[in-house]
């Protein structure tokens, strides 16, 4: 028999009610169905629990990056439509079909591979065509997509459910590229109209599109980061009222007084000017907490902001309470979230670490247990 394990004090708490509220707010804002994007462990929030909760909320569709993420959802009993957004290889197609995952078809060659696999299985593949309108990532260029679209329309083994593209600059409300991308996307869709075929679901808007560009909402929107209550960019306009769903919490595991001049942590990069009080927090870059926060950024203890001092280690880092600060071992430490009237957002941490909120969320890894509240 295995011993029951006491969880480490470091944990992620996900507020399912905040997620549900964000889905409702986005849906009310755009007035079209929502494809909730759950790639990279649901932006660090936990793929399966988030999918279960959104399914219970009646979400129209889910989107993931990779085959494996889709399979994980199906194995967990998720039944809503799931689109795999990423580029695919021929050897993955049969599994995509067998697990009832919708496939992004991003070239004529991939269309042929999907047709062949579907025919061999005797089962139609559900596909979304990917058009490149300016991202230059995957997808057929809008200016040369006519043969691709005609082949998809003629396909016996592919059910054409959607056509989509991805916006490169929509997190900037002043982006001029977005209007151009939309125009190119409409040009691509015109090939379907001209062929007299029924129009599949047209989807284009990521979180930036949802926030800033109503003309990109079309038949469905694909928000990721906004669903989790985080803005895609510091310049984004808060046109939808969303709440952050994730908190990152820990507890002080050690308290000590460090004498003036004695340096703290690896590399001796920081030393106090006078005797000060230091607590140690038991998480580090091995959990995905950025080492770039060494000597930058704050945490909350007893409702007050205190600075991270010295280098962030793999499993722990130190916080300066100042000469008069008080804290005790086991005091709660908030790295992301609220405490009393104070709050630290994902956006704050991203700014300190010189990156974007997406990276802060998705790098929080499996070593940190996740807890779910609400729902
Ligand atoms: C990640 C992704 C999204 C969601 O992007 P956000 O900026 O998080 O809203 C939408 N569509 C595609 C194709 C993506 O890869």
What pLDDT, on the 0 to 100 scale, is given for residue 2?
Answer: 61
Portions of the chain given CATH number 3.20.20.10:
16-227
Residue 124 CA to residue 198 CA, distance in Å, equals 18
Atom 6, ligand 1: residue with shortest CA distance: 224
How far does residue 157's CA lie from ligand 1's centre (Å)?
28
Residue 232 CA to residue 206 CA, distance in Å, equals 9
Burial class from Cβ neighbours inside 10 Å (0-12, 13-18, 19+) for residue 191 reads buried
Whole-number average pLDDT of the chain: 97
Residue 345 CA to residue 337 CA, distance in Å, equals 6
User: Which residues lie below 8 Å from residue 64, measured CB to CB, with a gap of 6+?
Assistant: 37, 38, 39, 47, 70, 73, 82, 83, 84, 85
The predicted-structure confidence for 152-171, as pLDDT tens digits, reads as follows 999 999 999 999 999 999 99
| Residue 227 Cβ < 6 Å to ligand 1 | no
| Residue 206 Cβ < 6 Å to ligand 1 | yes
Atom 8, ligand 1: residue with shortest CA distance: 224
Atom 15, ligand 1: residue with shortest CA distance: 85
Give the DSSP letter string of 359-374: HHHHH--TTS-EEEE-
What pLDDT, on the 0 to 100 scale, is given for residue 209?
Answer: 98
| Residue 130 Cβ < 6 Å to ligand 1 | no
How far does residue 223's CA lie from ligand 1's centre (Å)?
6
Exposure letters 325-334 (e unless 16+ CB within 10 A, then b)? bebeeebebb
Closest CA to 323 of 254, 261, 257: 257
The predicted-structure confidence for 60-76, as pLDDT tens digits, reads as follows 999 999 999 999 999 99
Residue 332 CA to residue 339 CA, distance in Å, equals 9
CB atoms within 10 A of CB 315: 16
The predicted-structure confidence for 76-102, as pLDDT tens digits, reads as follows 999 999 999 999 999 999 999 999 999
Quote the tokens at residue 359.
Answer: 């990276």
What pLDDT, on the 0 to 100 scale, is given for residue 7?
Answer: 83
Q: Which CATH code is given to the segment(s) 246-373? A: 2.40.37.10
Q: What is the dihedral of CA 26, 375, 60, 103, to 10 degrees?
A: 110
Q: In the chain, pLDDT over 90 holds for what percent of residues?
A: 98
The predicted-structure confidence for 7-22, as pLDDT tens digits, reads as follows 899 999 999 999 999 9
| Residue 232 Cβ < 6 Å to ligand 1 | yes
Which residue has tokens 């040009």? 187
| Residue 229 Cβ < 6 Å to ligand 1 | no
Does the pLDDT of residue 3 top 90, yes or no?
Answer: no
Terminal Cα distance for the chain, rounded: 33
What pLDDT, on the 0 to 100 scale, is given for residue 29?
Answer: 98
What pLDDT, on the 0 to 100 scale, is given for residue 4?
Answer: 67
Which residue has tokens 């994007």? 37
Is the CATH code 3.20.20.10 the one for domain 16-227? yes
For the CA of 210, the closest atom of ligand 1 is 9
What pLDDT, on the 0 to 100 scale, is given for residue 143?
Answer: 98
Closest CA to 162 of 126, 113, 111: 126
What pLDDT, on the 0 to 100 scale, is given for residue 6?
Answer: 72
Portions of the chain given CATH number 2.40.37.10:
246-373
161 strand-pairing partners: none
Backbone φ/ψ region at 297: left (φ over 0), alpha (ψ -120 to 50), beta: left
pTM above 0.95, yes or no: yes
Q: Outline where the chain has alpha helix (H).
A: 16-30, 39-43, 47-56, 67-75, 93-98, 108-121, 146-154, 177-194, 207-212, 346-353, 357-363
For the CA of 206, the closest atom of ligand 1 is 9
Which residue has tokens 């950024």? 297
336 strand-pairing partners: 248
Which residue has tokens 């580090």? 284
The predicted-structure confidence for 200-217, as pLDDT tens digits, reads as follows 999 999 999 999 999 999
Does the pLDDT of residue 1 top 60, yes or no?
Answer: no
């Amino acid at each position: 028999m295995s011993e029951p394990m006491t969880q480490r004090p470091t944990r992620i708490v996900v507020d399912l009610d905040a997620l549900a509220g964000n889905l409702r707010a986005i849906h009310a804002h755009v007035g079209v169905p929502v494809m909730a994007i759950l790639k990279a462990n649901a932006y660090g929030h936990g793929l399966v629990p988030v999918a279960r909760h959104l399914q219970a909320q009646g979400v129209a569709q889910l989107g993931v990056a990779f085959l494996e993420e889709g399979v994980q959802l199906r194995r967990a009993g998720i039944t809503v439509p799931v689109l795999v957004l990423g580029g695919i290889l021929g050897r993955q197609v049969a599994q995509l079909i067998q697990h009832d995952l919708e496939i992004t078809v991003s070239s004529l060659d991939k269309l042929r591979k999907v047709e062949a696999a579907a025919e061999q299985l005797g089962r139609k593949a559900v596909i979304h065509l990917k058009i490149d309108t300016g991202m230059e990532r995957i997808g057929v260029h809008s200016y040369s997509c006519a043969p691709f679209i005609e082949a998809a329309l003629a396909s016996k083994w592919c059910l054409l459910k959607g056509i989509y593209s991805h916006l490169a600059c929509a997190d900037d409300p002043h982006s001029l590229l977005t209007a151009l991308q939309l125009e190119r996307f409409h040009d691509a869709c015109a090939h379907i109209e001209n062929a007299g075929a029924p129009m599949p679901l047209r989807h284009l808007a990521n979180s930036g599109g949802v926030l800033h560009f109503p003309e990109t909402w079309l038949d469905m929107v694909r928000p990721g980061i906004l669903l989790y209550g985080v803005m895609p960019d510091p310049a984004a306009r808060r046109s939808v009222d969303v709440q952050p769903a994730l908190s990152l919490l820990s507890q002080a595991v050690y308290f000590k007084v460090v004498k003036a001049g004695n340096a703290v942590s690896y590399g001796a990069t920081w030393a106090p000017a006078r005797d000060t009080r230091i607590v140690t927090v038991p998480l580090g870059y091995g959990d995905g907490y950025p080492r770039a926060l060494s000597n930058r950024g704050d945490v909350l203890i007893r409702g007050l902001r205190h600075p991270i001092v010295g280098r962030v280690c793999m499993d722990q880092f130190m916080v300066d309470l100042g000469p008069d600060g008080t804290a005790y071992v086991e005091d709660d430490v908030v790295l992301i979230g609220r405490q009393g009237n104070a709050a630290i957002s994902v956006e704050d941490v991203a700014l300190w670490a010189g990156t974007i909120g997406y990276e802060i969320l998705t790098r929080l890894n499996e070593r940190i247990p996740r807890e779910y509240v609400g729902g």
